[in-house]
Amino acid sequence: MTHHEDDRLVPCLAQASTPGYLASPLPAVDDSEGARVPEGLPRIVDAHVHVFPERLFRAIWKWFDTWGWPIRYKILAPAVIDYLRSRGVDHTVLLHYAHKPGIARGLNRFVAELVSEHSSSSGVATVFPGEPDTEAILREAFAMGLKGVKLHCHVQCMAPDDPALEAVYRTAVAHDQPVVIHAGREPKSPGYRCDPHLLCSADRVKAVLDAYPDLRLCIPHLGADEFEAYARLLESRDNLWLDTTMALAGYFPDQVPWDLVRLRPERVMYGTDFPNIPFAWDRELRRLADAGLSAPALAQVLGGAATAFFRL
């Protein structure tokens, strides 16, 4: 979920609000992993998989070693895709993000080339908010076959309703492309240049949903830690999706919000943050398989919701 390319970009921030999930680094989980996805599951789309060029990936891992958690799977693209595919994940959605201006075009080309070589993957574009050629960058990315836009409020130090994002939202709507934006408050870390608790809130996301009713918007991590607020939004807004990334693992201090998953399973997408996770690749799959969801609900969470959101 985060990082910057060199340590100068991530000074420790004096906390302006509560400490957050990552007030100090979290430990690894030494849980067992399966060789394949659990038996009997419907089609699986992992809607939240990260890929970056090698230099940037290694910088991200260094950030996690310092501020986040031990990454269990330090593997590079395209091995990330192959790892999940070989274990029975049917489709992966590849996400990335630009932590500074001027790099989005290169990142988008990198992901577009990956998906051109892997029919079991789809890629999402990125842009740094406020870049003067934001619309052109996104149009070029969509022309290369990328599906949607990924933004990260914690890394890009931007609130979801910041005017700098208006060009992103307008362009996405004009091209019928969705936006995935890490606009939940957690996991907050002192390793960020800004305080996510001051930038991010369900109310700010609500403002975006209301301003752009034709925009398909996804908030990862089930909106942690504002689960009740996102439940209310999910009930009242038909342009909102959530993804489950890390929120079902029982890793963070909050209780797993299963009621939020059951509320509108057609609007909840299975995602993992693979490979940047501290536990087994199939930990959340096994928990979903054992959660007692109805067969139609499980099919929506594991694949149907992502298929609709990304138009796979």
pLDDT, mean of residues 102-116: 98
The answer to whether residue 34 is domain-embedded is: no
pLDDT, mean of residues 278-282: 99
3-state secondary structure of 262: helix
Whether the per-residue pLDDT at 67 is higher than 60: the answer is yes
For residue 265, what is the DSSP state?
A: G
Amino acid code (one letter) for 295: A
pLDDT, mean of residues 295-307: 99
Whether the per-residue pLDDT at 276 is higher than 60: the answer is yes
How many domains is the chain built from? 1
pLDDT, mean of residues 223-251: 98
The pLDDT tens digits for 160-182 are 999 999 999 999 999 999 999 99
End-to-end CA distance of the chain: 23
The answer to whether residue 283 is domain-embedded is: yes
What is the C-alpha to C-alpha distance for residues 20 and 26, in angstroms, rounded to an integer? Answer: 12
What is the C-alpha to C-alpha distance for residues 186 and 195, in angstroms, rounded to an integer? Answer: 10
For residue 117, what is the DSSP state?
A: H
H or E element that contains 307:
helix 305-310
* CATH number of the domain bearing residue 99: 3.20.20.140
Q: Are 263 and 233 in contact (CB under 8 A)?
A: no
The answer to whether residue 276 is domain-embedded is: yes
The pLDDT tens digits for 47-60 are 999 999 999 999 99
- pLDDT for residue 17: 64
Whether the per-residue pLDDT at 15 is higher than 50: the answer is no
* Residues spanned by the domain of 110: 42-193+200-310
The answer to whether residue 55 is domain-embedded is: yes
The answer to whether residue 150 is domain-embedded is: yes
pTM of the model: 0.93
Identify the bridge partners of residue 152 per DSSP, sorted by sequence position.
182
The answer to whether residue 172 is domain-embedded is: yes
In the chain, % of residues over pLDDT 70: 95
The answer to whether residue 17 is domain-embedded is: no
- pLDDT for residue 6: 35
Q: Are 113 and 168 in contact (CB under 8 A)?
A: no
Closest by alpha carbon to 182, among 64, 275, 97, 300?
97
3-state secondary structure of 96: coil
The answer to whether residue 31 is domain-embedded is: no
Whether the per-residue pLDDT at 82 is higher than 60: the answer is yes
